[in-house]
Amino acid sequence: MLSRFKFGLFALLVGAAMFAAPLAAFACCPSDGNGDHAAKAGLGQSHPVAPDLSPDSTWSVYEFERDGVRYVQINDSTGAVRVAVGRIADTFWVMPIGTDADRVSVPGSPKAIPSYSNARLVYSTKALEVWLHQTSSSDWWTVGPASTR
């Protein structure tokens, strides 16, 4: 009788642990509201081992997270790194990574985007948006909180 009780208690505890583990994962980590697809390594790489989050096949967008700091990186279709931006909450800064690093506008460090550019949304979550402004000679970027445009 005692062994049935122990087995039943063991089964109950295992079942509770299996149910609680997924719930703990939801409570564990902050998210940008679009699912947490942030990689832990690979920032600056041409083809990082991270999911491409862009719905636009011309561009690859990757998110990274380390020590509470989020990063977004945009690569072109050849894998060349074009832009990388760091972010903590609504504070953004341009990283010195990518061929377009000098043509990125972020809140607190705006760049004058040429008025003759065509703009399109390349990536967005509930936390941020990435806009591409193309001119005949170069690409310009705006990265900031969602719905800032």
Higher-scoring residue by pLDDT: 9, 121: 121
DSSP letters along 44-103, please? T-SS-SS----S-TTEEEEEEEETTEEEEEEEETT--EEEEEEEETTEEEE-S-STTGGG
pLDDT in tens, 31-58: 444 446 776 666 878 888 899 999 888 9
Q: How confident is the model at residue 148 (pLDDT cuts 50, 70, 90)?
A: low
What value does the mean pLDDT of the chain take?
A: 80
For residue 125, give every residue at least 6 positions away whose Cβ sits within 8 Å of its Cβ, in sequence order, or none: 32, 33, 34, 146
For residue 55, list its beta bridge partners: none
> How confident is the model at residue 42, as a pLDDT?
65
Kindly compute the dihedral angle of the four CA atoms of residues 133, 80, 137, 103, in this order, to the nearest 10 degrees: 50
pLDDT in tens, 73-86: 999 999 999 999 99
Mean pLDDT on 101-111: 95
> How confident is the model at residue 38, as a pLDDT?
72
The answer, yes or no, to whether residue 149 has pLDDT greater than 70, is: no
Q: How confident is the model at residue 20 (pLDDT cuts 50, 70, 90)?
A: very low
Lowest mean pLDDT among 17-21, 57-61, 62-66: 17-21
Residue 54 and residue 41: Cα distance in Å, rounded?
18
Question: Is the Cβ–Cβ distance between 142 and 127 less than 8 Å?
Answer: no
